Amino acid sequence: MTRRSVSWRLVTCLSSSPKLSLNVLCLVVTVFVLLQIWSFHITLQPILLPPSLLTYLNNHQQQQQPEVSHNDCLMEKLRESVTFLPLKDLRYSNKPLEGHTWFMSSLYDNQTKGEVQYQEFPSESSKGKLLCLKGFDKHDGSWNYYALAWPQALPVNASLKKGLTFVSYNHYDYGNMWHGLSAMVPFVAWSLRNQCERPQRWVLYHWGELRFNMGNWLKEIITATYSQEPEFVRFGDENTPVCFEKAVVMRHNEGGMSRDRRIEVFDLIRCKARHYCNISSSETSRPRIGMTLLMRTGPRSFKNVSAVTDIFKRECKRVQGCELKVAYSNNLTFCEQVELMRNTDVLVSPHGAQLTNLVLMERNSSVMEFYPKGWLKLAGVGQFVYQWGANWSGMKHEGAWRDPFGETCQFPDTDRRCMSVYKNAKIGYNETYFGDWARSVLERVKKMKDVVERNHGYESLDGCMC
Ligand X SMILES: *[C@@H]1O[C@H](CO)[C@@H](O)[C@H](O)[C@H]1NC(C)=O
Positions that interact with ligand X (CB under 6 A): 110, 112, 115, 123-125, 156-157, 239, 259, 277-278, 297, 304, 306-307, 328, 331, 335, 363-364, 391, 404, 430, 432-433, 448, 452, 454-455
Q: What angle do CA 426, 430, 436 make, to 5 degrees?
A: 130
We find the least distance from the C-beta atom of residue 325 to ligand X, in angstroms, to be: 12
Nearer to ligand X, 60 or 314 (CB): 314
- As a whole number of angstroms, the distance between CA 146 and CA 88 comes to 10
Spatial CA neighbour of 299 closest among 428, 427, 406, 430: 427
Non-local (6+) Cβ contacts of 189 within 8 A are 115, 116, 254, 257, 261, 262, 264, 265
Nearer to ligand X by Cβ, of 60 and 396: the residue is: 396
Minimum CB–partner distance for residue 170 and ligand X (Å): 22
**Rounded Cα gap, residues 29 and 86, in angstroms:** 29
Residue pair 389/270 in contact by the 8 Å Cβ criterion? no
**Nearest distance, CB of residue 421 and ligand X, angstroms:** 20
CB of 38 to ligand X, least distance (A): 17
Q: What angle do CA 173, 178, 181 make, to 5 degrees?
A: 80
Q: Minimum distance between the CB of residue 455 and ligand X, rounded to whole angstroms?
A: 5
**Residue closer to ligand X, measured from CB, 111 or 213:** 111
Indicate the residue among 33 and 361 with the shorter CB distance to ligand X.
361
Minimum distance from residue 103 beta carbon to ligand X (Å): 19
Q: Which is nearer to ligand X, 171 or 402 (CB)?
A: 402
Q: Which is nearer to ligand X, 25 or 395 (CB)?
A: 395
Of the chain, the end-to-end C-alpha distance in Å amounts to 58
Minimum CB separation of residue 49 from ligand X in Å reads: 31
Which of residues 130 and 204 has its CB atom nearest to ligand X in the complex? 130
Instruction: State the burial class of residue 419 (Cβ atoms within 10 Å of its Cβ: 0-12, 13-18, 19+).
Output: middle
Q: Which is nearer to ligand X, 204 or 293 (CB)?
A: 293
Q: Using CA atoms, how far apart are residues 185 and 182, in angstroms rounded to an integer?
A: 5
Amino acid identity, position 253: N
C-beta of 68 vs 452, nearer to ligand X: 452
Which of 152, 38, 151 is CA-nearest to residue 3?
A: 38
26-35, Cβ contacts within 8 angstroms, sequence gap of 24 or more: 29/53, 30/77, 33/6, 33/7, 34/7, 34/77, 34/78
d(CA 245, CA 150): 10
Dihedral over alpha carbons 295, 297, 299, 303 (to 10 degrees): 70
Neighbours of 339 (CB within 10 A): 21
User: CB of residue 434 vs ligand X: minimum separation in angstroms?
Assistant: 8
Residue closer to ligand X, measured from CB, 30 or 123: 123
In the complex, least distance from residue 304 CB atom to ligand X, rounded to whole angstroms: 4
In angstroms, give the least distance from the CB of 328 to ligand X: 4
Which residues, 6+ apart, have CB-to-CB distance to 388 below 8 Å? none
Residue (155 or 208) nearer to ligand X, CB: 155
Minimal distance, residue 244 CB to ligand X, in Å = 16
- Dist CA 305 CA 319 (whole Å): 22
397 within 8 A of 375, measured Cβ to Cβ: no
Which residue, among 281, 295, 275, has the nearest Cα to 347 in the 3D structure? 295
Residue nearest to ligand X (CB): 307
CA distance 261 to 280: 27
Which residue, 8 or 254, has its beta carbon nearer to ligand X? 254
In angstroms, rounded to a whole number, what is the distance separating the alpha carbons of residues 242 and 200? 14
Q: How near is the Cβ of 98 to ligand X at its closest, in Å?
A: 20
CB 399 within 8 A of CB 368: yes
